[in-house]
Amino acid sequence: MLFDTVWLDARLATLRDDLPGLGNVDGGAVAARDGRIVFAGREADLPSGWDARERVSLDGRLVTPGLVDCHTHLVYAGSRAREFEMRLAGATYEEISRAGGGIAATVKATRAASVDELVDAALPRLDRLIAEGVTTVEVKSGYGLEDDAEARMLEAARSLATRRPVTVLTTYLGAHAMPPGASDKGAYVDAVCALIPQLKRAGLVDAVDAFCEGIAFSPAQVARVFAAAKEAGLPVKLHADQLSNLHGARLAAEHGALSADHLEYTDEDGAAAMARAGTVAVLLPGAYYVLRETRKPPVAAFRQHGTRMAISTDCNPGTSPLTSLLLTMNMAATLFGFTVDEAVAGATREAARALGLASEAGTLEAGKRCDLAIWDVDAAAELVYRIGFNPLYKRVYRGN
Ligand code: DI6
Ligand code: FE
């Protein structure tokens, strides 16, 4: 068999679901053809008579699947650094909101930006993720909150994938917050629902998200958005139980959502419902940290019920200005009690699952996209343990 490229003398963390731990393989090799993995396993088990256009020896380095950041608000304009200073000086989030800051400030700047300006603003953030081995990233809208601006955000997100070697999945989050100045939530939810099929027809959107919270949208309003998504043939996900328990986790599970995200206030019933539905728990320690939250997501209940757990940066200008998935892995361990295996799986296999990409990405297995992160470390624990250190040796995207 002729490979395009074969990587030899590697230690693999395959993340294969049928193997224990990280599915480690010592003395391993990965072979690629046409951008896909055609072999991942022990070098000694390579098919007899193989040949390759390119052979790369990795001198025992660790290979993981390319990292997957499955929940970001990477596309937005403006900065909220000044607000951060105000909060450090004692101002509350509500005071800043009333003074025109908060989400409204980002909405104002985002509405004023062209698609090109949104792309230019997002690229430095995307580049930080890529520099740490991210090969797939999800990007949400939700700072336009009017049809044209939401569409521009999604266009910018789509355009990122033409500017960098990375897979971008786009999510329409019209139900993120009420547009500044508007007060009729029912009417705004109608508008969100009406836009979904148009965005789908325009090829701008891969999934639909909503923010279920007292300060955002009620479970009944979210259910309407989900029904419109289903009608358009789009999968759904939910910002759920971040600040209070509105039973968003159960709501997401009942709608067969790909994921429910945040989940600090989720109860055991919600965790069990998610496990039954196969809805992934996406935990976002960056937002937990920035908000100085003290209530932790119910990790023990997720483990007990077998709810799959992913982690993500939640990169956004307000509550998680975070562009490091490695730091996110450390935070998940330090703040939420994740094991090393859970943290690595959470940023690879489970994050891919949260995007509906379980058959395409997230593990080193024949048939999947050949997206790799090659690390200058002795053990996977190094990826989780170190803070502010990037040991990426090389990133491979679709075999290159
Ligand atoms: N949850 C959050 O914490 C952020 N959005 C969301 O759905 C807040 C975003 C912001 O402040 O800009
Ligand atoms: Fe978010």
Q: Among candidates 238, 245, 234, which has minimal Cα distance to 223?
A: 238
Ligand nearest to the CA of 171: 2
Q: Among candidates 385, 383, 363, 384, which has minimal Cα distance to 41?
A: 363
pLDDT single digits (tens) 28-47: 999 999 999 999 999 999 99
Ligand nearest to the CA of 73: 2
Checking if the pLDDT of 266 tops 90, the result is yes
pLDDT single digits (tens) 119-172: 999 999 999 999 999 999 999 999 999 999 999 999 999 999 999 999 999 999
Residues contacting 263, CB < 8 A, separation 6+: 240, 241, 242, 249, 270, 281, 282, 283, 297, 298
Mean pLDDT of the chain: 97
Ligand nearest to the CA of 242: 1
Nearest CA to ligand 1 atom 7: 211
Residue by residue, DSSP assigns 332-360 as HHHHH---HHHHHHHTTHHHHHHTT-TTT
| Average of per-residue pLDDT across 251-275 | 98
Confidence of residue 99 (pLDDT cuts 50, 70, 90): confident
Checking if the pLDDT of 94 tops 90, the result is no
Cα of 71 from ligand 2 centre, angstroms: 6
Q: Is the pTM of this model over 0.85?
A: yes
CB distance 171 to ligand 1 below 6 Å: no
Cα of 372 from ligand 2 centre, angstroms: 26
- Measuring CA to CA, how many Å separate 394 from each of 3, 18, 135, 137, 153? 19, 27, 12, 18, 30
Confidence of residue 20 (pLDDT cuts 50, 70, 90): very high
What's the confidence (pLDDT) of residue 92?
A: 87
Q: Measured from the CA of 176, which atom of ligand 1 is nearest? A: 7
CB distance 125 to ligand 1 below 6 Å: no
CB distance 248 to ligand 1 below 6 Å: no
Cα of 320 from ligand 2 centre, angstroms: 8
Checking if the pLDDT of 53 tops 90, the result is yes
Confidence of residue 387 (pLDDT cuts 50, 70, 90): very high
Nearest CA to ligand 1 atom 11: 318
Nearest CA to ligand 1 atom 10: 318
| Average of per-residue pLDDT across 67-86 | 97
Could you tell which of 319, 320, 322 is best to mutate to test the pocket of ligand 1, judged by most ligand atoms within 8 Å of the CB?
Answer: 319
Checking if the pLDDT of 100 tops 90, the result is no
CB distance 217 to ligand 1 below 6 Å: no
Cα of 170 from ligand 2 centre, angstroms: 13
* Cα(187)–Cα(172) distance, integer angstroms: 18
| Average of per-residue pLDDT across 372-390 | 97
Could you tell which of 71, 72, 73, 141 is best to mutate to test the pocket of ligand 1, judged by most ligand atoms within 8 Å of the CB?
Answer: 73
Residues contacting 219, CB < 8 A, separation 6+: 212, 246, 247, 248, 251
CB half-sphere exposure, 281, CA atoms < 13 A: 35
Confidence of residue 271 (pLDDT cuts 50, 70, 90): very high
Q: Which amino acid is at 376?
A: D
CB distance 80 to ligand 1 below 6 Å: no
Q: Are 295 and 261 in contact (CB under 8 A)?
A: no
Could you tell which of 237, 246, 316 is best to mutate to test the pocket of ligand 1, judged by most ligand atoms within 8 Å of the CB?
Answer: 316
Checking if the pLDDT of 113 tops 90, the result is yes
Checking if the pLDDT of 97 tops 90, the result is no
Nearest CA to ligand 1 atom 12: 318
83-92, 164-173, 219-228, 259-268: segment of lowest average pLDDT: 83-92
Q: Measured from the CA of 262, which atom of ligand 1 is nearest? A: 1
Checking if the pLDDT of 98 tops 90, the result is no
Cα of 280 from ligand 1 centre, angstroms: 20
Strand 36-42 with 207-212, pairing: unpaired
